[in-house]
Structure 1
Amino acid sequence: MKIWYLFLILLLPSVSALAQVSVLKGRLTTGSEPLAYGSVTIVGTTIGTTANQKGYYQLQNIAPGSYEVSFSAIGYLPEKLRVTIAKQQTVILNSNLKESYSKLNEVVITGVSRATELRRNPVPIAVMTKKEMNMNVNNNIIDAIVKGVPGVSAVTTGPNISKPFIRGLGYNRVLTLYDGIRQEGQQWGDEHGIEIDQYGIGRAEVIKGPASLTYGSDAIAGVINLIPAIPNGADSVLKGDYVADYHTNNGMIGTSLGLAYKNKNWQYTFRATAKAAHDYRDKIDGLVYNTGFREYNLSGMVRVEKKWGYSQIAATIYDNRQEIPDGSRDSLTRQFTKQVNELAADNIKNRPVVSSNELNSYSIAPLHQRIQHYRIYTHNQVKLGNSSLDATLGLQQSIRREYNHPTQAQQAGLYVVLNTLNYDLKYNLPAFAGVESTVGINGMYQANRSRAATDFPIPDYNLFDAGAFIFGKKSFGKLDVSGGLRYDNRHIKWNDFYVGPDAVNGFEHQVKLPDTTGAHLQFPAFKHIYKGLSGSLGLTYNVNERLLLKANIGRGYRAPNITEIGSNGLDPGAHIVYLGDRNFNPEFSLQEDLGIIAYLKDADLIAEFFNNQVDNYIYQAKLTDAAGNPVIIVPGNSTYQYQQSKARLYGAEFTVNLHPQKLKWLAFNNSVAYVTGINQNQQLIQKSNGAAKYLPFIPPLHLRSEVKITLQQAYGVFSKIWFKTGADAYAAQNRFYALDNTETATPGYTLINIGMGTTIKRKSEKSFCELFLQLDNLFDVAYQSNLNRLKYFEYYTASPNGRLGIYNIGRNVSFKAIFPF
């Protein structure tokens, strides 16, 4: 019994202490919505917890006293609140966090050897989330990025064809990736878009600057990595979403269903998408004939994660029927006309007028292109102690047919099949003396073949590409240093390619050896090896947690693409006869980047400056004869010959985002992007009296400003209600490549856009749907972007209304609903 008395005496102080402890609990919200899985910690202690799915948290056994409590969540500005807790008291402390526009602590995977915090990467990288993409009207995924990333623009051929440009450089200089696999889909053509499902992308990472170190050729301007969305969910629960999208201008109807299922270490995703649109409308032209499209997408993925690493296999299918505008019109009424005859029987100035029913029809016109893209790939990682081995293998097939024969609608003018094998192997070495390093090799093998066609702009060719690199990074206190070197080797070859008359259809066809009687040699045999050394060195200085200084110098490398060295024929979809030069040398660039980034309490301030010197720069220019008249090889089509010279591009981007802490409902975002492109071929500039001073396809000064108001409370079933209004202002572009009227001056213009959105919830607090409403080009401004190829689709030197070429899309109202489940 004495032992029990002694035990009780020793226990009483502990019981007394427990009786004095208190509880802190509450809820994390954002606006009027619960914020799931946020972190709650008491500053200066080890006491902390994570909120549940509905935002509730509870901290127990807290001794009496005065504390500072920190609330944080990824994507939201942190908040610290003071609280005093008495004995045996339960205190309720709620926190309402505001969405953060700061992405410095986000992890990126593009352009680095292994996942890296954005703040530690000296190369300019922009990140765009699915939420940001959903808030903008998009006819395709590139349009979404253009609206969200300063310094990115796009050359367009109607609403559904956008080729990305970064800081004035585009075409094969911008490497587009899908989940880390380089996109290969005959991207050399002016009217060739990106064959990717816009509704299936969960995140975009954009490198603004040379990224040849990691990716080799074709990344001289930068990289756009489109990363598929992988919904998170509990085990053995089917998750997904359904998207319904409608645009009033061209009647675009988009619908997409995504599914995801997780079972322990296994994860499965699937998505199916369909889009259709008729011709778009603008204030000057009315409905623009042959700009409709019909697109289908399928994608799926299986992934398993184990202690040894992970393995993933995925596949995509893309099928798009895209109409081909040519701009032919009646000379007096300016109504669009259509081609119904061939060659000599086709009088461009006497074609029949397109009917109203055809302009409004969702049926695809006989003159169109069909693009099919198939991809299967696998990502794998094996953990080897403190190191890891990553392996990627991908197989793609791109089939492109362009139908331009009205009297033989089933006969393709262009019919090419491109098969590509991508490979990437890298070894992430164990850290040594604080240095994280990676060595790797990657590249591709390609085979391009023409099928039953009548036009042959490029030869059949084989290409093998391989590059080896080493990359390293190390931190010295507040200073992060990273860089590396790479060597590339590209083999390209083709055999003699003959073309002769086809007695069956009256056009031409490919003629193969040994019987080439009556044929002509369109592409003499060619074989060449291109080599390039590239690299980069960058510094990031963390002045403090909110202020960073970045500097990077990079040497980029790009081998000439197939059309630049091998083209000699008509691309029917572009309405251009391309003429290449097999004597071209690789492009090499040397770019310096400086960045100042400040993520302050009430504002984000970003200033990025760049200077890019490019040797052997390749560009298109109209071909003229000795008298200065355009050379016409195929009637109704322009002729462009590739040129090569030195060039310099320089400019800057500025971002000022205001998000006052005391005004949680307000966000005021602003950006400015400027680039100048100088042609340094002094002999040509002098000969042309300055007409060739500037590079083609350089975007003008672009200012973007947007005010967003987010209501901080719910109204019945409506929550997360937001409104926004914005302006896109483009200055006049008077610095253009004027030689031989390759380009013309472009007036400035301003587009006003407004939008709103909300989430509808059930009583169970689960989201029923997200609604988006947006009105673009509110005042229906008639404008032509200098990057709009349709601006130059004109058959006459004058018109009754004084307007030449085709204008950009007019006012458009879009409705989008996303139903998660």
Structure 2
Amino acid sequence: MILALILGFSGLLSAQNSVSGTVSDLQNQPMPGVSVYAPELHKGTTTDVNGKYEFTNLPNGSLRLSFTFVGYTTQNKTIAKLLKENTLDVTLPESIFEMDEVIVSTPFNKLQSQNVMKVEHESIKTLQQKGTSTLIEGLATIPGVSQISTGTSIGKPVIRGLSGNRVLVYSQGVRIENQQFGDEHGLGLNDAGIESVEVIKGPASLLYGSDALGGVLYFNPEKFADANTFKANFSQKYFTNTQGSNSSIGLKTSTDNWKFLARGSFNTHSDYKIADGDRVTNSRYNETDFKTGIGYSNSNFSSVLRYNYNKLDIGIPEDGIAEQSSSKDTQFPRQGIFNHLLSLNNVIFFENSKLDVDLGYISNDRSEFEDSNVASLHMKLNTLNYNVKYHFPKFGKIETILGVQGMHQTNTNSGEEYLIPDATTNDFGVFGTANYEWNNSVIQAGLRFDNRNVSSEAHGIVDEEGYFQALDRSFDSFNASLGYKTKLAEPLTLRLNVATGFRAPNLAELTSNGVHEGTNR
């Protein structure tokens, strides 16, 4: 319905802009097969045998294009204001160095070299080449990022010593919520169908709200196929330590306006082996993951709908080194986790401004089985996220964004055990940020207000174990940030950032009562 409303609204707008050009090397020879990508439109193409490319049906305003080819320096070009017909010729010099990436997780989507904040950017392919079996293990190889792990597939990201509800995780432009206060389950994300990850270290409350006290992990999903192409691929991996396998198959196709992709993967692992040759009993797990997406873009707007289903069957290793087995069937105690992630990302283009509207829904179903297939602990967490940002027309060298973010979350229990009570959490935030750029320097500042309201139901009998008192609490915060970046010399860049950070308490902290079985404290 939302997509239909946007389609109808787009009829009120009109723009039929195009851009074309030739990509050549330093010897002025045309380069066929160069990838040309417009990240904001999720639209790509490839140069033909004469090095020529073309995009049609483009919106008004500015347009950023990325030109990439293996063995050559990536060129990121911006057309400040599109005309009806635009010509942009590009020369790619040879290079073996890392590219200057466009950073998606920060508000103005600048190149890394232009960004006020230093953001670590890693492709998932690079992390996979390090031989890690899970996504969280790959993330722990990034400098400044580690993990708290209690099993092969159970890990929490740690940034500068902070983890759990102090580090936010985003996927498909949506904030991931999966009872991250607990230590006995992981991210609920599979690396198949993820293009790259961006890591913000330190307080990012201005951009993402109070829970981003330690930092943010921002996962960029797989790109759609180039226009008028069809692609399919299959990968198979084998891991000797766990006698495990990872299978993934994907396909994607695009026209000039429509795009579609789908990817399925399956992981299965036995208990992992330690140095003396023994296996840690019941550290085995099985994972099924499916991702799909459909997108449409024209000269007035871009809209992408994505869905991710993730199912985890995880053994909980409690006895350490016990019965030795290479079986992949989990024993008791074990966990069953089901995640559904639905996101709708829209950009509506006006004459000199644009409106970003991101909507997300996450359903996290977590069950723990102690000694039978009847769940002793069963929690369902449903979360609705929204993020609306309006990019004002550029005033001289000043760019300004005003936005609102929010979350509506419900937690319900249906098992015998209660770690946290049935509750509702509502977050609301409003923020503004401005960016001023001149010569080789940039200054960026922002302000934000947040409110969190947590209300829960009473459970149990007063003065007895397992009792939860009814709760209705509200928390407010103001945060500010100021950043400065300048290029002191060709190889030397200076960045200075100061920011305040505030984290509102979460439901688990406000209702803790007695022994926490997940952490033995």
User: TM-score when scaled to structure 2?
Assistant: 0.83
Following superposition, the deviation at residue 487 of structure 1 comes to 0.6
Match of 1:255 among 247, 254, 257: 247
Distance 1:449-1:200 versus aligned 2 partners, 3 A rule: same
Partner of 1:115: 109
- Conserved in 2, the CA contact under 8 Å of 1:465 and 1:489? yes
Distance 1:524-1:390 versus aligned 2 partners, 3 A rule: same
Q: Give the AA of the match of 1:107.
A: V
Point out where structure 1 has 5 or more consecutive residues left out of the alignment: 1-36, 43-47, 60-71, 80-94, 329-334, 337-353, 500-515, 577-637, 641-821
Partner of 2:125: 131
**1:698-720: per-residue Cα shift (whole Å, max 9, x none)?**
xxxxxxxxxxxxxxxxxxxxxxx
Match of 1:52 among 22, 32, 37: 32
Partner of 1:731: none
Partner Cα distance (1:269, 1:197) in 2 = 16
Match of 1:40 among 25, 41, 60: 25
* Residue aligned with 1:454, SS: coil
Q: Give the AA of the match of 1:376.
A: L
Is 1:212 the counterpart of 2:228? The answer is no
**1:705-742: per-residue Cα shift (whole Å, max 9, x none)?**
xxxxxxxxxxxxxxxxxxxxxxxxxxxxxxxxxxxxxx
Match of 1:542 among 487, 491, 499: 487
**1:112-163: per-residue Cα shift (whole Å, max 9, x none)?**
223211112121201011331231112221221221x211111111121121
Point out where structure 2 has 5 or more consecutive residues left out of the alignment: 1-21, 35-46, 52-66, 75-91
Is 1:485 the counterpart of 2:480? The answer is no
- Conserved in 2, the CA contact under 8 Å of 1:458 and 1:568? no
Partner Cα distance (1:306, 1:423) in 2 = 23
Partner Cα distance (1:433, 1:130) in 2 = 38
Partner of 2:78: none
Matches within 5 A, 1:143-292: 143-147=137-141, 149-235=142-228, 237-284=229-276, 286-292=278-284
Distance 1:391-1:49 versus aligned 2 partners, 3 A rule: farther
Match of 2:458 among 483, 489, 496: 496
Partner of 1:434: 397
Partner Cα distance (1:311, 1:534) in 2 = 31
Q: Give the AA of the match of 2:169.
A: T
Following superposition, the deviation at residue 380 of structure 1 comes to 0.5
- Conserved in 2, the CA contact under 8 Å of 1:301 and 1:314? yes
* Residue aligned with 1:497, SS: coil
Match of 1:296 among 270, 288, 296: 288
Is 1:400 the counterpart of 2:394? The answer is no
- Conserved in 2, the CA contact under 8 Å of 1:456 and 1:569? no
Following superposition, the deviation at residue 489 of structure 1 comes to 0.3
- Conserved in 2, the CA contact under 8 Å of 1:249 and 1:281? yes
Partner Cα distance (1:569, 1:374) in 2 = 31
Distance 1:56-1:325 versus aligned 2 partners, 3 A rule: same
Partner Cα distance (1:521, 1:277) in 2 = 36
Partner Cα distance (1:109, 1:288) in 2 = 40
Partner Cα distance (1:211, 1:522) in 2 = 36
- Conserved in 2, the CA contact under 8 Å of 1:123 and 1:208? no
* Residue aligned with 1:559, SS: coil
**1:567-603: per-residue Cα shift (whole Å, max 9, x none)?**
225665x3x3xxxxxxxxxxxxxxxxxxxxxxxxxxx
Partner Cα distance (1:56, 1:429) in 2 = 37
**1:777-796: per-residue Cα shift (whole Å, max 9, x none)?**
xxxxxxxxxxxxxxxxxxxx
Partner Cα distance (1:428, 1:129) in 2 = 28
Partner of 1:362: 328
Q: Give the AA of the match of 1:240.
A: A
Partner of 2:303: 311
Partner of 1:615: none
Partner Cα distance (1:151, 1:426) in 2 = 30
Match of 2:353 among 363, 387, 395: 387
Q: Give the AA of the match of 2:400.
A: S
* Residue aligned with 1:523, SS: coil
* Residue aligned with 1:176, SS: strand
Partner of 1:718: none
Partner Cα distance (1:173, 1:188) in 2 = 9
- Conserved in 2, the CA contact under 8 Å of 1:455 and 1:571? no
* Residue aligned with 1:558, SS: coil
Partner Cα distance (2:93, 2:382) in 1 = 53
Following superposition, the deviation at residue 290 of structure 1 comes to 0.8
Distance 1:571-1:250 versus aligned 2 partners, 3 A rule: farther
- Conserved in 1, the CA contact under 8 Å of 2:224 and 2:260? no
Q: Give the AA of the match of 1:394.
A: G
Count residues in correspondence: 456
Matches within 5 A, 1:632-643: 638=520, 640=521
Q: Which runs of 4+ in 1 moved over 6 A?
A: 54-59, 518-521
**1:425-464: per-residue Cα shift (whole Å, max 9, x none)?**
110000113110100000100000001x222111111000
Q: Give the AA of the match of 2:459.
A: F
Partner Cα distance (1:97, 1:130) in 2 = 24
Q: Give the AA of the match of 1:220.
A: L
- Conserved in 1, the CA contact under 8 Å of 2:153 and 2:185? no
- Conserved in 2, the CA contact under 8 Å of 1:124 and 1:209? no
* Residue aligned with 1:282, SS: coil
Distance 1:254-1:539 versus aligned 2 partners, 3 A rule: same
* Residue aligned with 2:151, SS: coil
- Conserved in 2, the CA contact under 8 Å of 1:375 and 1:394? yes
Following superposition, the deviation at residue 521 of structure 1 comes to 6.6
- Conserved in 1, the CA contact under 8 Å of 2:72 and 2:93? no
Partner Cα distance (1:284, 1:377) in 2 = 46
Q: Give the AA of the match of 1:127.
A: H
- Conserved in 2, the CA contact under 8 Å of 1:211 and 1:222? yes
Which is higher, the Rg of structure 1 or of structure 2? Answer: 1
Following superposition, the deviation at residue 258 of structure 1 comes to 1.1
Identity in percent? 29
User: TM-score when scaled to structure 1?
Assistant: 0.53
Partner of 1:376: 342
Distance 1:58-1:184 versus aligned 2 partners, 3 A rule: closer
Partner Cα distance (1:223, 1:475) in 2 = 25
Following superposition, the deviation at residue 100 of structure 1 comes to 1.2
Partner Cα distance (1:297, 1:434) in 2 = 45
Partner of 2:424: 462
Partner Cα distance (1:459, 1:154) in 2 = 28
- Conserved in 2, the CA contact under 8 Å of 1:254 and 1:276? yes
Q: Give the AA of the match of 1:216.
A: G
Matches within 5 A, 1:670-819: none
Matches within 5 A, 1:622-637: none
Q: Give the AA of the match of 2:102.
A: V
**1:594-623: per-residue Cα shift (whole Å, max 9, x none)?**
xxxxxxxxxxxxxxxxxxxxxxxxxxxxxx
- Conserved in 2, the CA contact under 8 Å of 1:458 and 1:569? no
- Conserved in 1, the CA contact under 8 Å of 2:388 and 2:405? yes
- Conserved in 1, the CA contact under 8 Å of 2:460 and 2:466? yes
- Conserved in 2, the CA contact under 8 Å of 1:444 and 1:465? yes
Partner Cα distance (2:95, 2:302) in 1 = 35
